[in-house]
Amino acid sequence: MELIDITLIWVGLVGLAVIMYVVLDGFDLGVGILYPLLPNEQARDHMMRSVAPVWDGNETWLVLGGAGLLAAFPAIYSIFLPALYIGVFLMLAGLIFRGVAFEFRFKSQRYRHWWNIAFAGGSTVAAAAQGFVVGAYVQGFEVEGFTYVGGAFDWFTPFTLFTALSLVIGYALLGATWGIMKTEGETQKWLYGATPWILGATAVCLFVVSIWTPLTQPTVMERWLEEWQRLWVMPFIGLVSTVLVMWGVVKRSDFMPFFSAIGLFLSAYAGILASKLPYAVPPQITFREAASAPESQLFLLLGILFMLPIVLGYTAWTYWVFRGKVQHSGGYH
């Protein structure tokens, strides 16, 4: 057991589950965020059809990451939940609203506009709540020992408000580029026109967050300027990804904008982790301090290593079965 760093393996597994959720559920939340802006009801039908076969499978990664965090790092749960009760509740409420809208919008004609609002509102609230959580993690928590001693609204600050706005816009970029890949005709044409504006807003948000974070936290400034200067490759990857998204739009590529937008998200995610690791609960509790007993981690690891290939397998199989453009007619069930 001493030859294997089980805690480090769990950090990798939880990190994988989080980024898989951010990317996969990010684009289908982004579709909902774009909903009120789409030009007509036909475009809304196309966009919902594009995510209907995969959205619930995407959320498997949220369950996997949350369960892994609870099992391997219970101290994180004991601090995060009291600190983020309201944000977690808003996220779950938003996910429920949009999930119900998938089912009822398809059947309803008379009240379809209300289900459109539920889908768009639920998607936006869920994305914003996740942005608040990310911002709260970056700005840190007030703890004594392993107990949260801050207030119920410490997560609501100008910085977290901006990170929430940034994530909503970023998810909209993923949704728009996903729509370019999955639709055609007037819907795709509208998305090609909207994507540069959303990309510009995303780039501005990432730039402001990148400047704001080290200015308010000297430890982050020190890490980027003095300790790990090689980390600057991440903003470079983000810049290249931004250019490739725009290049793909100009060239009317179906695939390049979406996969380049994923590259932009991966660079931002890596930048956040590099700024905060090894702290699980910034600014003082590391992942090793928050970890459960090695025996418990090893027992749970056997289970997760059995489940992970299954989750990866059915995720890949689902995307393969529903590959290609969405159809212009018919339902999405």
Within 8 A by CB and 6+ apart from 304, the residues are 13, 64, 68
Whether 331 shows a pLDDT value over 80: the answer reads: no
Q: What is the pLDDT of residues 169-217, one digit of tens each?
A: 999 999 999 999 999 889 999 999 999 999 999 999 999 988 888 887 7
Tokens of 111: 């009240």
Tokens of 229: 């200067």
Boundaries of domain holding 38: 10-322
Average pLDDT of every residue of the chain: 87
The secondary structure of 58-96 as a DSSP string is HTHHHHHHHHHHHHH-HHHHHHHHHHHHHHHHHHHHHHH
Predicted local distance difference test score (pLDDT) of residue 60: 84
Domain total in the chain: 1
Predicted local distance difference test score (pLDDT) of residue 245: 96
Predicted local distance difference test score (pLDDT) of residue 239: 92
Q: How confident is the model at residue 330 (pLDDT cuts 50, 70, 90)?
A: low
Of the candidates 173, 168, 169, which has an alpha carbon nearest to the alpha carbon of residue 191? 173
**Taking a C-beta distance cutoff of 8 angstroms, is the pair 133, 84 a contact?**
yes
The 10 Å Cβ neighbour count of residue 221 is 14
Predicted local distance difference test score (pLDDT) of residue 188: 93
327, part of any domain:
no
Say what the pTM is: 0.92
Predicted local distance difference test score (pLDDT) of residue 308: 87
User: Using CB atoms within 10 A of its CB, is residue 133 exposed (0-12), middle (13-18) or buried (19+)?
Assistant: buried
DSSP 325: P
Predicted local distance difference test score (pLDDT) of residue 141: 84
Over residues 246-273, mean pLDDT:
92
Tokens 């959303």 sit at which residue?
Answer: 198
Within 8 A by CB and 6+ apart from 236, the residues are none
Predicted local distance difference test score (pLDDT) of residue 2: 58
φ, ψ dihedrals at 225, nearest 5°: -95, -25
177 vs 116: CA distance, rounded Å? 21
Predicted local distance difference test score (pLDDT) of residue 130: 92
Q: How confident is the model at residue 329 (pLDDT cuts 50, 70, 90)?
A: low
Whether 98 shows a pLDDT value over 60: the answer reads: yes
Q: How far is CA 143 from CA 130, 139, 309, in A?
A: 21, 13, 37
238, part of any domain:
yes
332, part of any domain:
no
32 vs 128: CA distance, rounded Å? 12
Would you give the distance in Å from CA 282 to the centre of its chain? Answer: 20
Over residues 261-272, mean pLDDT:
90
Q: How far is CA 264 from CA 25, 61, 96, 214, in A?
A: 16, 20, 28, 20
Q: What is the CATH number of the domain that holds 299?
A: 1.20.1630.10
Tokens 């196309």 sit at which residue?
Answer: 46
Rounded (to 5) percent helix, strand, coil in the chain:
80, 5, 20
Q: What is the pLDDT of residues 130-165, one digit of tens each?
A: 999 989 888 888 888 788 888 888 889 999 999 999
74, part of any domain:
yes
Within 8 A by CB and 6+ apart from 219, the residues are 283
Over residues 89-114, mean pLDDT:
86
Within 8 A by CB and 6+ apart from 317, the residues are none
279-281 and 143-144: which strand pairing?
unpaired
- Bridge partners of 285, per DSSP, are 281
3, part of any domain:
no
305, part of any domain:
yes
Whether 222 shows a pLDDT value over 80: the answer reads: no
Predicted local distance difference test score (pLDDT) of residue 271: 86
Q: What is the pLDDT of residues 47-82, one digit of tens each?
A: 998 998 888 888 888 888 888 888 888 888 888 888
Whether 295 shows a pLDDT value over 70: the answer reads: yes
User: Using CB atoms within 10 A of its CB, is residue 202 exposed (0-12), middle (13-18) or buried (19+)?
Assistant: buried
158, part of any domain:
yes
Predicted local distance difference test score (pLDDT) of residue 169: 96
Looking at the chain, the whole-number percentage of residues with pLDDT higher than 70 is 96
Which range is least confidently modeled, 145-149, 236-240, 279-283, 327-331? 327-331
Looking at the chain, the whole-number percentage of residues with pLDDT higher than 90 is 35
Predicted local distance difference test score (pLDDT) of residue 6: 85
Predicted local distance difference test score (pLDDT) of residue 124: 95
Tokens 């294997």 sit at which residue?
Answer: 4
292 compared with 129, residue with greater pLDDT: 129
DSSP 233: H
333, part of any domain:
no
